[in-house]
Structure 1
């Protein structure tokens, strides 16, 4: 074994939920939740009795948007080559 090669038991393993395919699937599954929550926000703003419950679609929109941004950044960093398992881990 050469100096440049790491033994198999020492190589960093990428978890299944951190693969490019899993990130893309999660992104596309979160998109309908985000759109649904935006519709809920607009509907709550138009209907007077529902204004007190606007926090539900607002929280749903913020969480889904945050997760979509994180997944998009993760795939973008991996595509650009700035973060790989060989270069020191996964953000």
Structure 2
């Protein structure tokens, strides 16, 4: 099995998926190469209207430790969208 050195250590991952009542954030510990099997630490649905406050309140303590932020719709993880959430996290921390 090939090992990519970025995925060989367990890391904090945030996955965000759109849901009917807002955006569902799942914070987990696991491997970037296998996000689906990560161990869930915290799961929260935040209204997209007040995302910044919600993120700050729910995930504030974890933000600095998160090394990978993925935005996903359904099951597909799109790492290239991580800026969206990273910006939301950053904005939340500063407000």
> Normalized against structure 2, the TM-score is what?
0.27
Which structure dedicates a bigger proportion of its chain to helix?
A: 1
Return the structure number with greater relative CO, CA threshold 8 A, min gap 6: 1
Which structure dedicates a bigger proportion of its chain to strand?
A: 2
